[in-house]
Amino acid sequence: MWMQNRQVQKLGGGRLEKFGVRLWSQLQFGAIYSRKERAVYNLLRQVQRDRRTLLTAFEGYLVYSSARAQEKRPGAFAEVGVFQGGSARIICEAKGDRRLDLFDTFEGLPATTDKDAGVHQANQYTCSLESVQEYLKNYPNVHYHKGLFPDSTHDVPEQTYAFAHFDVDLYASTRACLEYFYPRMIPGGIMLSHDYDILEGVKQAFQEFFADKPETIIEQPTTQCVVVKIG
């Protein structure tokens, strides 16, 4: 299974990887259709039709439900690792008029380290800033920050966060997200990460960072994990 995941990640967001995500999602969409709000089902379907996400249907739903759960809490929303903007659109539908900060190089992944097991290559998952801005143009209060995180936070006001979504694939990038957002999360704030249990670097970064913290890493039946800030 691990070797299969490695091969999927090396596809770099191309047609084969997107086909695999869509194929796996077909079964999941049936469950969402039968049990969840029709508007949310339609949103997730539309994002996949747009071919702008590498999240499965269940993963997209968890992004939506986690963001929606924070709708009435104080604090901004954020996403690091935007790719083509699919998960950002899901967050936009859940956030109302809340501020959303989107961070990405918009030039693909940075260089990997030995902690990432050679799964990725530099510049995978490239999408232009202008393309994402066009895709999300109808949503208010969305702010874009281009560059390597956390250097790209230089123009972000000092603020607290109620929800942060990470989809950065690499050890160093995941560690940077945790170091930046953890002290800025409100009590009860949610940090949600993609690829926790299929990418060694992501998992190692979480486990190391929270080894001396009171919070527990909550593994999901998807590839994701959730951490809820205690205080």
**Sites in the chain below the pLDDT cut of 70:** 1-19, 117-123
pLDDT at 231: 82
pLDDT digits (tens, 9 = 90+) for 171-215: 999 999 999 999 999 999 999 999 999 999 999 999 999 999 999
What is the helix (H) or strand (E) element at residue 78, kind and residue range?
Answer: strand 76-80
The CA radius of gyration of the chain, in Å to the nearest whole number, is 16
Two structure tokens written together for 175: 């560690």
Compute the distance between CA of residue 180 and CA of residue 106 in angstroms, rounded to an integer. Answer: 20
> Is residue 224 left, alpha or beta, with left meaning phi > 0 and alpha meaning psi from -120 to 50?
beta
pLDDT reported for residue 127: 87
pLDDT at 2: 39
CATH topology classification for 59-228:
Rossmann fold (3.40.50)
Whole-number Å distance between alpha carbons of 160 and 172: 22
Spatial separation of the C-alpha atoms in residues 230 and 221, rounded to whole Å: 23
Question: In this predicted structure, what is the pLDDT of residue 160?
Answer: 98
Q: What is the pLDDT of residue 119?
A: 67
**Full-model pTM:** 0.90
How much is the pLDDT for 5?
A: 46
